[in-house]
Structure 1
Amino acid sequence: MKTKGRLAGIILCHLVTIATFVEGDLYLHSPRGSNNRLNEKSANRANANRLFDSQNNNRGGYNIGDLTDVPAGNNAAKQYNMHYFQSGPSANKATGEGGTQLVMEWTNQHGCGGNEDTDPQKQNCNMVLQFMCEDAKENIPALKEQMRDGTSTSTMEYTKPASMKETKAQVNTRKNGALDTSRGLQESWEMYDDCYMRERNLGLFTADQNVKKNKFGYSSAAFTRQNPNGNRRGYECPEERDYFPYWHPTQWKDIAVLAENSSMCSHYQGKSFNIQPYHRCVESWSKGNPKHWSRWNNEKQCTDNGGQWILFHNYLEKAPAYNTEAKCTSASNGYVKYIWAVPYDAEDVTKKQCLVALETPDCYEAPWSRSNHLGNGRGNGQPLTYTWTLPYFPSGHEHKCVFRMRYNISTDDYDPYNTNASQNENKRKNIVSPVQDNKQVDVGGPAKLQMALNTDQTGRIFQDRTHLFRLMPRPKGLENERIYNLNVRGKRGNIVQVYPAVEYDFTPNHLHISPTDLVHIQWTGSNTHNNGNPAGDGQAGNDGEGKEGSDRNNMAEIGDLNDNFPLPYEQTTMWKNADVIWMYHGKTDISSKDLALNIASAGYYRCFKKSSCPETQHKDFIVETKTTPLQNQLNNAPASYQGAVLRFKKGIYYYMNTRNNNFTNRSQKGTIHVS
């Protein structure tokens, strides 16, 4: 496969000049980005290759949440995945009506955004926001194949094929020997096996890099300019990671592209796998028994070698109830579109299925941020954000999901739009790459000067991903409501200790809503954010209040953002003016005083009196019967609060966290404006 033009428009990776010592570039703060961390007590992550290639500093990222006040350890059931309600069936993405709004926050070190004529940056950039889900109710894959965070920081195994003519039984042996339920899994084993066996796109610019070959003597999609040695990170395909829009079917669904300029949006949106189906070559072990991989990446070589060049579609979820094309397409309405097509993961590639179509991704110019700053955006001093209207799944099933964000930086040192494989270094043909490793330049003096340049980083992609989260069907009666998520970001420690993560805050910490809107309050935290050695390029330690290494959060009303003492309940209005619409423990007929207690104690208590909570599931969460009282710094409270959905009456409400509002280094406060 050869490409022309701006790497055939495959642009997440065009060209950049960047010093090889630069590290640490994109960090998700809400939802919490893992940066490949799991539950380490160290400041450095234990395994940078656990699930994906971030190219970020080893100190970045947040641990997976714990359900209780003790570390989950080897018990995955004691980990906490954030739970968000899906949008309603008639959600309007433009107005937000009926949708569930989740504010994504991040920092990117090298800057982005700005108009080239009036507000130029030192570099070009773009950002791609994507997600991937799995039906949690159906548990369609076998246990070993289900998406998970895992309890071990080790990377999933992979054994290369012994032969290109291996049988399906031999493939299954390799796969079953690789999958380990204690280790994290996001992309499927098949995605990487296909990547290792499929020839890479030979039209791409590789500069002077020696891009190596697989064991069968050809360079596959596991080898790229940024990853010339074919190093593996989880089951991520390096070529898919490095380029967007990608030209091969993938498991990822596009949410938004924050472009270097808005003129690129029609290209990004039109080539998105959400909208544009893509072919792949399908070979078979036997009739009706297709392989998940083929060496061939173009139609001619595919068909010349006995394969079928088949068109595959992306989808939100499958709709097996509509088992004919007529039933499928007629089920479409103004909010949900169904298509009759071959899904990218089809086991029988000869049969079409009914699929819930994906929306065109959002696209607009990236928000401005300062180069080499890794801080908030310009203007309002707030974090860089994108508000995601969460999807609606017509099946009504819960889904396990992961979110990822990729960040590309590049410069205009030469034409980034028309550089391709024809400019790759080739001494036999006297072709010199426009950029070279550690290039020496003559500036007229007695000696040449060496540039700090590594061409596997020219056109560089940084990435972060969340831990798994769950998208839940809405409770009955809430189908048309607008829901805002109110969460917590940050981890334990002062600014030097947690960097490049951030200290605690609520997110969004200024929420503007109407009296008809709903607010879903929820947070997660870890019991192992000790920031111990090895500390890497920063300071070890986890300064803060309460138990070592523990994240703890709560909410208590204050009279004003300048205040640092919560109001007595008798003087509060926030909880008295809140209607309880849903709570994680199932009880909504809760008094305002019990609601205030529940959120102030991070879920440690549900009621003051047994008479208010007579149900069996509440018996261990009642003040008058609990034998161990709440520790005043929340040490024995859960690290994660599983949530309440509230509707607030008109007013302005200020609140704080009583444990983390440490005057010396942070202010964990927020405001809800209801008007």
Structure 2
Amino acid sequence: MSTFVRKLMILVSMILEVHGDIYLHTPRGSNNRLNENGRGRAKANRLFDSQNNNRGGYNVGPQPMYYYAGSKLQIQWTNQHSCSDKNSHCELIIQYMCGPNIRDGTSTDTIPVDKAKCANADCNTDEKYGMHEDSTHYQRCLYRKRNLGLFTADQNMEGKNKQSAASTRQENNGRNNRYGYECTEERDYYPYWHPSPWKDIAVLTNTVGRCAHYKAESENVKSRWQCVLPLDTLEKMDAANVYAPNNAQDCANFKFPANDPQGVKGEWKESSAHGIPSPDCHETLYSRDNHLGNGVDGYANRYNWTLPDIDQGKCVLRIRYNISTNDYDGWNTDSTKNPDKNGDPTKLDLSAKFGFSNSTEAAKRGYVFKGNPAVKIFDEGNFDFQLAIDTSQFGRTFQDRSHTFSIRRRPDSLKTATIHNINVSGKRGNIVQVYPAVEYDFVPNILEMRPGDFVHFQWTGSDTNPNNNDGQGKAGSDRNNVLLLRDKNYPEGTGVQYGPAPTFGHFGNNYPKNISDSQFLGLTKDDLLKLAFLNTDIKVGPNLDEASPYFDLGPRQITQLGTYHYVSTRNNNFSNRDQKGRIMVTDVVFIDDAIGRLGGEVVLPDGFGRVQVDPGVFDGLTMLRLEVWSRSKHKVKVDQISKSLTAGEKFASDFLIMHPESVLTQPGKVIKVTLTVDTDKSNIAIYRSSETTGFSVWTKIEADIMGDMAHFKTQSGGVYVAKSHSHTVLIVALVLSLLVVVLVIVGGICYFRKNPNKWKKLKKSPKNLQDRI
């Protein structure tokens, strides 16, 4: 086997023997569903192998979603087992692919491999069947020899049907158990060593030491190779039980038929890299064991994707999920640890892990890595306990994929616009009926944006949900709408403020504001009617049944400042309740960034400065939020802070706010900050305060002032600003002091002239004078 393949063979993740499912909620994940009206999907191998519960996923909508290139899309998911803690190793890989023939299809049947069963003898273009990867991708996988350097534990990988890349430890019968045109080996291993149509978006891992490897080995930036033979030759080879080589050396020596001088030779051919940036890579967001729910902040775990600038037909999103234990070092375990024959335990030495002196002693007691071992927990006696271990699942990968969508190039009117997508997750039914899907919610649930940005309201649903699922309106139907909520009825107490601009609507209400009085985002009345009734061209009832499950308002520019609370009146009853969202339009410059142990740099806009976090400064993923309060724009905030100024002080910069305000760094580590300061002020120094203290206490920070830039280090978030102390104040103080001294002297002279006897007496008492002095 080639050195390249042997190096890559360690890239398997060991997965717990559990149903560690992952479900994609935005964009809507299919979990292999199409439009079936049962709670379970019709066919688990329609397009891909998810390894998930049959009840997951959402039905396809009547019209594919679309997003503009460069717009911001929030990806949301739930995963069943822990990430980013000490219980396990977890990795999430987010990818996409686009192409002219990618489609959802109209049938829940798996796409055939026999071309005769497809329209026009071309399965790649038969729109009846859903398709992601194409038939060529699958055939090259099916007829290629699998990577024999991989650890397959004690799984039976012998026999003709188990020698191709269509079979792996997790699915050792992949040839006979096909999932669409998916390549099993490509699905189970990352980075994969042969060409793949999938492009990497992000790798989220709690072992960030591998990030450099992931970024360098990604097919985004590194080409792939494969042994290329004509497809008709591959079919003949398959009939003769011969597989295409998987490495350069074997490919160079390959010919079929081997003894035929005219035999077809293999060509070790390079496939270009995708030619896009390497994937983002950082720590995973935390999730706890056995919990298909929200993250630690109360919202779904998520990743914000800026869509690429492409226009390549339909696209599909894939998220894969690896969850592994510490039972053995999977990254450094290869085929040398496989058993010599079927039925034997693996050659993994677990003796030290379980306190035995050597592997022979451990094996006597049954402490070996094999399927369902019986262990003796005492030295003597027949107290055997069988452990439920399936070694095929100690290398398990789960996944979900979206329904198809498109990425559109921008029209000239949107060339430089910032576009935020607002979508809907969830489906009809109460939480028990829809689980492991979710009930309705807006995504993102809270959106912060700048005036001048665009909002794109768009969502889809289905009319083929189970008819007995709870909800308003026509049985089985999804509908969503948007109206501004009524303003608050009662005071909330002090300190509740969502931003410097006015607040519209209140989450505590369930009634919408009258559209005639609504100031929702400053939208026109026509747009407000469309958001409320979904289609102004036809008459709809109060439950919106007559409208389509798909709605698209198109991008709308928002210039009106404010915080807006809105609701879907269709989904606000007892079974589907509280579908509400918040949009904050603020002129405060803000940047949200996830920075972990690898560090990172945030460059603030308009030359205000930057925040640099070196590798190792943070102990884990930190959701860093930076804001800039302008002295000229944010008068309310600045006036509040100005009350803490002492005489002669002036602000010499705008304000940098870093959240969280607590200590962020590891002991002895610092965050490096560069801040732009005024050059027309003197005696400049950097100070830190806190919103939580009402800016009542300011602490001076040691800083280097070089021209118009201040450089300083900190360990904590908080409010940072440059202050200047005027020389005029010092001069005035000195003059006043001298004036006091002069007045004392003049007063003394006048007193002793009027009382000469007092002066004579004083002169005769030098000791007394000295004491007084």
The TM-score, its normalising length taken from structure 1, stands at 0.74
Asked if 1:423 corresponds to 2:337, the answer is yes
Counterpart amino acid of residue 424 in structure 1 = N
Structure 2 distance, partners of 1:276, 1:362, is: 15
Q: Residues 3 and 204 of structure 1 are in contact (CA less than 8 Å); yes or no, is this contact kept in structure 2?
A: no
CA distance in 1, matches of 2:529, 2:180: 43
The structure 2 residue matched to 1:543, chosen from 470, 487, 493, is: 470
Check 1:172–1:489 CA distance in 2 against 1; reply closer, same or farther (3 A cut): closer
Matches of 2:99 and 2:214, distance apart in 1: 25
Distance 1:505 1:412, change over 3 A: same
Query: 1:440 matched to which residue of 2?
Result: 374
Q: Given that residues 151 and 182 in structure 1 are in contact (C-alpha distance below 8 angstroms), is that contact kept between their aligned partners in structure 2?
A: yes
Measured after TM superposition, the shift of residue 178 of structure 1 is 8.4
Q: Partners of 2:342 and 2:545 in 1: how far apart?
A: 68
Equivalent residue runs for 1:312-461 within 5 Å: 312-315=271-274, 357-378=275-296, 380-393=297-310, 397=311, 399-427=313-341, 432-434=346-348, 435-444=369-378, 446-461=382-397
Contact kept, 8 Å, 2:88 with 2:323, in 1: the verdict is yes
Per-residue CA deviation, residues 283-322 of structure 1 (Å, 9 max, x unaligned), is: 35899xxx9997011111111113221211133xxxxxxx
2:377 and 2:579 map into 1 onto residues whose CA distance is 53
User: Quick one: distance in 2 between partners of 1:667 and 1:12?
Assistant: 44
Percent of pairs with identical residues: 46
Contact 1:2 1:201 in 2 (8 A): no
Q: Distance in 1 between matches of 2:388 and 2:78?
A: 25
TM-superposition CA deviations, 1:492-550 (whole Å, max 9, x none):
000000000000000101001110211111000000111x6xxxxxxxx4111111110
2:563 to 648, 652, 657: 652
Match for 2:102 among 147, 151, 172? 147
Q: Secondary structure at the match of 1:65?
A: coil
C-alpha deviations, 1:95-130, integer Å up to 9, x for none?
xxxxx110000000012113xxxxx2x111101100
SS at match of 2:141: helix
Corresponding position of 2:493: none
CA distance in 2, matches of 1:432, 1:362: 36
Aligned to 1:601: 533
Match of 1:133 in 2: 98
More helix by share: 2
C-alpha spacing 1:45/1:11, structure 2 compared with 1 (3 Å): farther
Equivalent position of 2:142 in the other structure: 196
Residue 300 in structure 1 maps to residue 270 in structure 2: no
Aligned to 2:55: 59
Q: Which has the larger radius of gyration?
A: 2
Q: Give 1:127's aligned amino acid.
A: L
Any gaps of 5 or more consecutive residues in structure 2?
A: 255-264, 349-368, 486-504, 587-773
Distance in 1, matches of 2:45 and 2:343, equals: 37
Q: Which residue of 1 aligns with 2:456?
A: 520
- Residues matched between the structures, number: 526
**How has the CA–CA distance of structure 1 residues 447 and 294 changed in structure 2, closer, same or farther, with 3 Å as cutoff?**
closer
Please state if 1:84 is matched with 2:80: no
Describe the shift of the 1:463–1:485 C-alpha distance in structure 2 as closer, same or farther (beyond 3 A).
same
Question: Bigger CA drift: 479-488 or 25-34?
Answer: 479-488
2:442 aligned with 1:483:
no
Q: Give me the whole-angstrom Cα distance separating, in 2, the residues matched to 1:399 and 1:419.
A: 41
- Equivalent of 1:671, from 558, 582, 586? 582
- Give the AA of the match of 1:47: K
CA displacement 1:317-343 (0-9 Å, x = unmatched):
xxxxxxxxxxxxxxxxxxxxxxxxxxx
Pick the aligned partner of 1:226 from 163, 170, 176.
Answer: 170
Q: 1:464/1:172 Cα in 2 relative to 1: closer, same or farther (>3 Å)?
A: closer
Residue of structure 2 equivalent to 1:109: 80
- Give the equivalent residue in structure 2 for 1:638: 548
Task: Report what 1:501 is aligned to.
Answer: 437
Residue type of the alignment partner of 1:248: H
- Measure the CA separation in 1 of the matches of 2:231 and 2:32: 36
Label 1:283 to 1:634 Cα distance change in 2 as closer, same or farther (>3 A): same
Check whether the contact 1:112–1:124 (CA below 8 A) recurs between aligned residues. yes
SS in 1 for 2:570: coil
Summarize the alignment of residues 454-469 of structure 1 with structure 2, pairs less than 5 Å apart.
Answer: 454-469=390-405
Cα distance in 2, alignment partners of residues 573 and 105 from structure 1: 30
Residue 175 of structure 1: how far off its partner (Å): 6.4
Kept in 2, the 8 Å contact 1:196–1:214? The answer is no
CA distance in structure 1 between the aligned counterparts of 2:199 and 2:281, rounded to whole angstroms? 14
- Partner SS for 2:122: helix
The answer to whether the Cα contact below 8 Å between 2:61 and 2:550 also exists between their aligned partners in 1 is: yes
Residues 462/33 of structure 1: CA separation in 2 closer, same or farther (3 Å cut):
same
Following superposition, the deviation at residue 39 of structure 1 comes to 0.2
Using CA pairs under 8 Å that are at least 6 residues apart, name the structure with larger relative contact order, 1 or 2: 1
Distance 2:10 2:453 in 1: 39
Structure 2 letter corresponding to 1:387: N
Name the SS for the 1:477 alignment partner: helix
Q: Which consecutive residues of structure 1, in runs of 5 or more, have no partner in the other structure? A: 67-79, 88-99, 115-119, 136-145, 161-169, 316-356, 533-540, 579-591, 606-620
